[in-house]
Amino acid sequence: MTRAAMPTATPLVLLLDKPLGLSSNAALQRVRRMLGKPKAGHTGTLDPLATGMLPICLGEATKFAGHLLSEKKSYHCTLKLGVETASGDADAPVVCELPVPALDADQVVAALARFRGVIRQTPPIYSALKRDGVPLYRLARAGETVEVPEREVMIHRLELRRLAGDEIDLEVVCGSGTYIRSLGMDLARALDGVGHLSALRRLWVSPFEQRPMASLADVEAWAATAGEVTPAWLIPVDQTLCSIRAITVAADDVLALCQGRAVANLIGAAGSVRLYTTDGHFFGLGEVTDDGVLRARR
């Protein structure tokens, strides 16, 4: 197991509003340059044609990025009927064109019901998924044919927001691993047509439903002030772990855990815990065994 570090300032997660036209990695690198090139990583890729919340873990917060990857996410998207593309958005060649079906809201709402709960979908080949270490989008651009297996994903919420001609606006709340582009293409087929996403915006990543996001200009302006005030779009990393029980650890036990030793005779339920010093500093995650032994996990 990774040993917990001695308590220092709590590392931060930056909630970036990724702009249109930038890849997630390009946006990440811009933030790193603005902040003096700290270690950093984003938690969940947004396509270049998508905008919205991209959590960026800074410094030691990168150790906890996996927890955010598994959280629920919400999106607003526009499905344009009549044209299907290889990627499911406007950034790839057209593969099929069909007349736009005459639809009313009741027909769309009825079709949406088929896509709620646990569903199976095939991720688009133009995606960051990898085969033998190579992103699928690179293979697609090289003209290779790749079989992408279906997988189960969870759609918690799927609502019609607008129907106008050949456009359908949807609001989606989904689990980890869901491709909204695939969802859009599958819905278009269920409506006896074809389609692709003409717009996609990530509204939030749990647990940041009510948090503001920073533009790149906001990050640059904040960096210019040498970080005198912590804005609401910079979140202490332990707030991303709020579903995990918190415990306070005595000073001697903090040292033991940070040195990789176990602490015995702990009272409380077994399972994962957030670790805090007696003065409230977060210093990692731990695991409590059934017999009350605590070990640092990260």
Determine the pLDDT at residue 160: 99
Specify if 139 maps to a domain. yes
Instruction: Express each pLDDT in 272-286 by its tens digit.
Output: 999 999 998 998 899
Residues 181, 145, single domain; the answer is yes
**Domain with 234 in it:** 12-70+208-239
The residue that leads in pLDDT, 204 or 36, is 204
Taking residues 172-193, report their average pLDDT.
97
Specify if 185 maps to a domain. yes
Residues 230, 274, single domain; the answer is no
Banded pLDDT at 117 (limits 50, 70, 90): very high
pTM over 0.75: yes
Residues 124, 188, single domain; the answer is yes
Determine the pLDDT at residue 3: 44
Determine the pLDDT at residue 1: 36
Determine the pLDDT at residue 184: 98
Residue with structure tokens 């598994």?
70
Q: Residue 139 in contact with residue 124, Cβ under 8 Å?
A: no
Specify if 77 maps to a domain. yes
Residues 66, 93, single domain; the answer is no
Q: Residue 81 in contact with residue 188, Cβ under 8 Å?
A: yes
| CATH number of the domain encompassing residue 265 | 2.30.130.10
Residues 146, 41, single domain; the answer is no
Residue with structure tokens 């009313």?
104
Determine the pLDDT at residue 20: 97
Position 60: which residue type?
E
Specify if 7 maps to a domain. no
Residues 223, 179, single domain; the answer is no
Residues 94, 115, single domain; the answer is yes
Give the integer Cα–Cα distance in Å for 109 and 269.
44
Residues 46, 152, single domain; the answer is no
Specify if 175 maps to a domain. yes
Residues 167, 251, single domain; the answer is no
Residue with structure tokens 């918190």?
246
* Domain end residue (candidates: 185, 205, 225): 205
Q: What is the number of domains present in the chain?
A: 3
Query: What are the structure tokens assigned to 124, written together?
Result: 């688009």
Residues 109, 189, single domain; the answer is yes
Specify if 181 maps to a domain. yes
| CATH number of the domain encompassing residue 136 | 3.30.2350.10
Catalytic residue numbers? 47
Specify if 1 maps to a domain. no
Determine the pLDDT at residue 265: 67
Give the integer Cα–Cα distance in Å for 12 and 219.
13
In angstroms, the Cα distances linking 11 to 5, 227, 237, 264 are 12, 14, 6, 28
Residue 204 has pLDDT above 70, yes or no: yes
Residues 179, 32, single domain; the answer is no
Specify if 230 maps to a domain. yes
Q: Residue 166 in contact with residue 154, Cβ under 8 Å?
A: no
Residues 255, 284, single domain; the answer is yes
Q: What string of DSSP letters covers the chain?
A: -PPPPPP-SPPEEEEEEEPTT--HHHHHHHHHHHTTS--EEESS---TTEEEEEEEEEGGGGGGHHHHHTS-EEEEEEEEETEEESSSBSSS-EEEE-PPPP--HHHHHHHHGGGSEEEEEPPPSSSS-EETTEEHHHHHHTT---PPPPEEEEEEEEEEEEEETTEEEEEEEE-TT--HHHHHHHHHHHTTS-EEEEEEEEEEETT-TT---B-HHHHHHHHHTTT-S--TTEEEGGGGGTTSEEEE--HHHHHHHHTT--B----S-SEEEEEE-TTS-EEEEEEE-TTS-EEE--
Position 249: which residue type?
V
Backbone conformation region of residue 237, classed left if phi is above 0, alpha if psi is from -120 to 50, else beta? alpha
The residue that leads in pLDDT, 253 or 125, is 253
Determine the pLDDT at residue 115: 98
